[in-house]
Structure 1
C-alpha cells in the first residue's frame, strides 16, 4: 500500500464519524479510531510536532454537554 492509499483508506474510514459528530453524536470505537488516526496523520503532514499532533483528536472527540 502506498502512503497515498493509506491516507485514502483513513479518510474513507473516518468519514462516517464526521457525519455523526456533525449531528452531535459520538462515533463508535472503530470509527473513532479512524478519526483519531486521520487527524494525527493530517497534523503530522502539516508539520505539527508530535506532542501537539496527539492533542488534536482530544478536542475533536471531547464529550459535548
Structure 2
C-alpha cells in the first residue's frame, strides 16, 4: 500500500448536508488518486470527510 497513510479522527459528523459546499475540494484529490470522491460530512477539526466509490473514507 504505497502512498497510503492511516489516520484517525477523534470525532465528526456523518451528514452530507454539512459537506455539500465542499464538492470542488474533494474533486481535486480524487482526480490525483484516480477515484471519484463524494462528500460525507465533517471531522471534529472541521475538515471535509469524503468517501470514494470503494467505500473508503
Do the two structures share a fold, i.e. TM-score over 0.5? no
| Structure with higher helix content | 1
- Higher RCO by CA contacts (8 Å cutoff, separation 6 or greater): 2
Normalising by structure 1, report the TM-score: 0.29
